[in-house]
Structure 1
């Protein structure tokens, strides 16, 4: 399940002023890869995530998922595409506060075509003893683990993670990254992590460095690090 971008531009217009958030971006993300998209605020990395994942349409260029051109899809078609193929992890946990851990994960599994076993996924993120707890009873790191379990439970083709450790301290952040990395390795889920932290890049198969809406450099890591080997600050 690969996804390709060909000469993609994203332009925002304010009156007569045009701002290029993406400039002629071409990229292929291969099946099973762990990709880090790295850049400072305003570099275009979040816009790249949005158009690649079908959360937004590019202004021009093509985005191809397998043999399907999704860049011309309607809003309804993009919603179906995301539901059938993708999962998201954000900096905000977006859990339903009136549901337990298991019930939150069940919601993720319920929209998957071939979902994983819920109890197995909860165990893999280390929350088997918390599955009947509510989000308000969990730490921030535990809540982020629930959001990962919810995303993985549907068995997506690609998992997009937008600053997944942005609200976490170093120890908790590394625990969360370790789980994301293990999910990629065990389930071969293509994983795309958006971050401004250059140290997280050492975990990736390839690093896409963004600056001013362009891909500045693509780096292939010959020797990947695990989450607990990277520096933080």
Structure 2
């Protein structure tokens, strides 16, 4: 799915204080792109992800996904859009502790009208032999891969990732990025990764750099590198 953002602004009001989180964003993301949105805390990158995905509303402007204006949707239609079209991966894994790996991924399957095979996805993320383990029996990287499998089994058109390696060490972070890169290459899923980690930029088709609620720079990578080759330091 393609995304078109036009003059999007987001202002939060707390009492008499106004915070301008987004200041007139214009952005196009092509179907099948892997895009990294970079920026320090407070730059607006997570807010941009939230409004593009329909988790939050805009103050001004329009967002179109495959030419459908999601900024005109009511809450019921937004909920349906998120359930049927989108996948989400966050820094916190949000796994259900009393469910096995397979059962946690099955939760994602239940939310989809056209799910992928759970066993195929577990194999793809390297967890087929771990499918009967509970979260407490797994490392942080394995739990993050379970959360990826749960999002991907829905067969989403767009996968949103908010700091997916933020709590992981270098080796585990690279493993997670490799899974995302492979999914993008093999399934053609549009993937948007929000991060403050500049090392991740080299795996993207394009890098969106943000500062103070604005797009500061857009970089196109003519030569992407394999996630395993990312220079973390």
Q: Indicate whether the TM-score tops 0.5.
A: yes
CA displacement at 1:13 relative to structure 2: 1.0
Q: In 2, Cα distance between the equivalents of 1:154 and 1:228? A: 26
Q: TM-score by structure 2 length?
A: 0.98
DSSP 3-state at the match of 1:136 = helix
1:133-191 per-residue CA deviation (whole Å, 9 max, x = no partner) reads: 11111000000000011111010000000000001000000001100110111000000
Q: In 2, Cα distance between the equivalents of 1:194 and 1:21? A: 15
Aligned to 1:200: 200
Q: In 2, Cα distance between the equivalents of 1:179 and 1:63? A: 28
Structure 1: stretches of 5+ with no match in the other structure: none
Q: In 2, Cα distance between the equivalents of 1:27 and 1:113? A: 30
Q: Does 1:21 align with 2:38?
A: no
Aligned to 2:172: 172
DSSP 3-state at the match of 2:88 = strand
Aligned to 2:226: 226
DSSP 3-state at the match of 2:71 = coil
Q: In 2, Cα distance between the equivalents of 1:145 and 1:229? A: 19
DSSP 3-state at the match of 2:217 = strand
CA displacement at 1:210 relative to structure 2: 0.3
Q: Is the 8 A contact 1:91 1:162 kept in 2?
A: yes
Aligned to 2:93: 93
Q: Is the 8 A contact 1:57 1:72 kept in 2?
A: no
CA displacement at 1:112 relative to structure 2: 1.5
After TM superposition, the structure 1 = structure 2 runs for residues 33-72 of structure 1, keeping only pairs within 5 Å, are 33-72=33-72
Q: Is the 8 A contact 1:7 1:62 kept in 2?
A: yes
DSSP 3-state at the match of 2:183 = helix
After TM superposition, the structure 1 = structure 2 runs for residues 208-223 of structure 1, keeping only pairs within 5 Å, are 208-223=208-223
DSSP 3-state at the match of 2:61 = strand
Aligned to 1:113: 113
CA displacement at 1:130 relative to structure 2: 0.6
What is the CA RMSD across the aligned residues, in angstroms? 0.8
DSSP 3-state at the match of 2:141 = helix
The list of structure 1 runs, each at least 4 consecutive aligned residues, that deviate by more than 4 angstroms after superposition, is none
Identify which range, 132-141 or 13-22, moves more after superposition.
13-22
CA displacement at 1:107 relative to structure 2: 1.1
Structure 2: stretches of 5+ with no match in the other structure: none
Q: TM-score by structure 1 length?
A: 0.98
